Structure 1
Amino acid sequence: MTQTIGIVGAGQVARALALPLSAAGHRVIVGARRPDAAGDWGPGVRVTRPEEAAEAADLVINALPGAVSAEVLGPLAPRLAGKVLIDVANAVVPDAHGFASALRYPGSSLAEELQRTLPGVRGVKTLNTVHVSVMAVPSSLGVPPSAFLSGDDGDAKRAAEALLISLGWPPAWILDLGGVASARGPESFVLMVGGLVRALGPVPFGLAVAR
């Protein structure tokens, strides 16, 4: 089903998702702080202000850095009310090398913080356990990665699953973990990333469940 997808944020994550979503048949609007400086995003992708992207979208993706997600999205609450918000970010305290040394919301999660900040949205956490280059090309890894879903709204999770499938994720690779509090597990995976990069080198990877 064709939808208008709003992506709030204009960094690497937004660029990794925008063109593949457009190629899958969706209308894509990227919300950038400075649209005039955002550059070319390819066919079918329009760049505008975050407020307009949130207003015009049927479904919104949070592609902001996790540390500022609640702060930036909070003022957009009236424009996001009732919409599905897919959160793919990790909120961390970085170490001297830029890797996560701690979670910014210990005992909770960014997904829960966003749901508290934006009580009118239907939040779903997903895609935060794979490298940005894998998000829209899951078959690029030698082992099938897993995409986890966490959220309190069943219809929203089904919408998120449909979006993942349109990006090339087979249904068998998508796992529904339950309510929004279940995002605490996948969000904790980011604490392993520094060690994995030191062990494996700077190669794309993601979390997978063997079964």
Structure 2
Amino acid sequence: MPVSQEPSNVPLLHALLAHVAFIRLAGFATGVLANWAPALFGYYAKYCAALAGRLDDIAFNFPTTVWAAVTINFGPRTVSLRHRDYANLAWGWCPITALGNFNPDVGGHLVLWDLKLVIRFPPGSTIAIPSGLLTHSNASIGGRETRFSVTQYTAGAIFRWVDQGCRTKEEFVKKMTASEYDAFLVTEEGRFNEGLAMYSTLDELRSSDAESDLSELDE
């Protein structure tokens, strides 16, 4: 459900979120995560279910998504400046879909600064990246061209809130003993490495029971 919006925008956002094209777009992104990082997909799905079980009035943006939030950039010439999304789940994947009418050979490229990659990113394409880890931006487009984007993500604080019994950190730790708090800190320190372990290798994907046929992937 759209929050923190101008009242005049809410009907339009509801209409977009209910449109079959956006529902399919969200479902495709979910399928990408499920096929290429099945353990990470399971992690997202688990926490979505936990939120739904805890908050009776929660309404996810799409019936086909495992992400809690969506941003629709209306452009008309959307350009993302160089940044990292620090508030997102640190090892989580963020699907980005480019829309509009522009020449992808000339502009609109996705730039992953840490990896020194510039990726052709034409309209209708979706890519999933760990946006909290990788510094990213996109190239500008022509003055008479249009570019829009749809991005899904989940804040890391949501996962922590669920892990803390649907409480803030302050509420969660205030009744802990010293030894319990020390154990909590150890768990917190290991969280990132546990998250990275949810990534899949190509060998793991080939040997999995995933529905997608990955047997012809090159090394």
TM-score range, shorter chain: under 0.3
- Kindly name which structure, 1 or 2, has the bigger radius of gyration based on alpha carbons: 2
Whichever structure has more strand as a proportion of its residues is: 1
- More helix, by proportion: 1
* Superposition TM-score, scaled by structure 1 size: 0.27
> Normalization by structure 2: what TM-score?
0.26
The structure showing larger relative contact order (alpha-carbon pairs under 8 Å, at least 6 residues apart) is 2
